[in-house]
Amino acid sequence: MTRHSLSWAALAATLAVAAPALAHHSFAAEFDINQPVQLKGEVIRMVFTNPHSRIFLKVTTESGEVQEWSIEGGAPNALIRRGWNRDSLPPGTQVTVLGYRARDGSLSASGGSVTLPDGSSLNATDTGVGAPQ
Amino acid sequence: MSQKVPAVAAFILSVSFLFQPLLAQERSRPERIGGKPNLNGIWQAANEAHWNLEGHSAEAVAEFSQALGAIAAIPAGQSVVVGGEIPYLPGALAKRTENRAGWPAADPEAKCYMPGIPRANYMPYPFQIVQGEGDQILFSYTFANASRPVFMRDHQRAPVDLWMGRSNGSWDGDTLVIEVNSNIENTWFDRAGNHHSAAMVVTERFTKIDDHVMQYEATIEDPETFSRPWTIRMPLYRRIEADARLLEFNCVKFSEPLLYGEFMSRDAAAEANQ
């Protein structure tokens, strides 16, 4: 085992938390592929939790209503491999998120691409759970 | 079927070779490894710091006393904080009071969360140090199956905050120095609600006194929580039983009735308690 792979394995082990196993689920169990959604808003905070990371987003609708959305993303280890880190989405960042709405109509979605103010984008897709890639 | 026999034999052979160095270790324990003190072994604190880093009197835990009597009492302990008290900023002191009021349910230990550093080193469970001549030293803890590699090169911050932090190690003479950064804000120091922020950096020093005892020191720097850096100091003792080893303490199931009891049937809760 190379040093590189050992350190990633160790990181993955360190990120593992006891409780959230109960929250692990397939894409189709919670989200609807027929309800794509585009959300423009301000990052409240992002948490790197297993098995899914989460972005909390303040979105103001056309009618002026302020909504708080919860955007579910891939596991921290997957996101870190794609270039995410603790400084990727500081609170207050204006972002555009493409995702799929929850089946239960709640203000939550499975996230895909997250576009930053400078036009660059990061991929938050949850892989391995049947989410559209 | 017969083709599997050599594979099985090879497996048994390789497993027996795997354990041989462990058996040999206690018989001929080298004083030094790669020119550095040999810290290998199973270590444990023998103090009351896991209850409260600061000095405290014995007291009953009222809500458990009726069932457990003196077994549920908290033993008195002297402060392991150099100078006696933790130098909290006013707002952070209020947060400790709030944490204490919420104990034990609010304590990450009750939830079986990985304890973080420094708490993992003085919980009432043994931990193991695995040291070779390579570029990493492994600390493996009984509680919550937590572990941390100590990187002796390639010092850096982790990309995100971690329950056990990122450990960057170096030798200062015969003292192993570990700077632990990238600490998640959710861990506590003890069962008394002592806490920190994600800005915390811990600098640990492990210095052998003899082959059975080492001095452990950890300096806590966290300007968001404390008015100045502060240090804890305590000896750690090596478990010298001939067959000393870490035993499994998978506390997830022990935490479930506390965390999810309201969603569990009485039978399931009873089963988890077994």
Helix axes B266-273, B252-260, angle to 10 degrees: 150
Q: Cβ(A80)–Cβ(A108) under 8 Å?
A: no
Question: How near does any CA of chain B get to the CA of A69, in Å?
Answer: 22
Q: What is the ipTM of this complex?
A: 0.73
Nearest by CB to residue A18, choosing from B144, B154, B164, is B144
Cα(B259)–Cα(B140) distance, rounded to whole angstroms? 25
Nearest by CB to residue A19, choosing from B149, B162, B259, is B259
**How do A66-72 and A108-115 pair as beta strands?**
parallel
Tens of pLDDT along chain B (274 residues) come to 445 555 555 555 454 545 555 554 555 799 999 999 999 999 999 999 999 999 999 999 988 999 999 999 999 999 999 999 999 999 999 999 999 999 999 999 999 999 999 999 999 999 999 999 988 999 999 999 999 999 999 999 999 999 999 999 999 999 999 999 999 999 999 999 999 999 999 999 999 999 999 999 999 999 999 999 999 999 999 999 999 999 999 999 999 999 998 888 777 767 766 6
Tell me which chain A residues have a C-beta less than 8 angstroms from the C-beta of B158.
Answer: 11
Q: Cβ(A53)–Cβ(A75) under 8 Å?
A: yes
Q: A47 and chain B: CB distance < 8 Å anywhere?
A: no
Q: A13 and chain B: CB distance < 8 Å anywhere?
A: yes
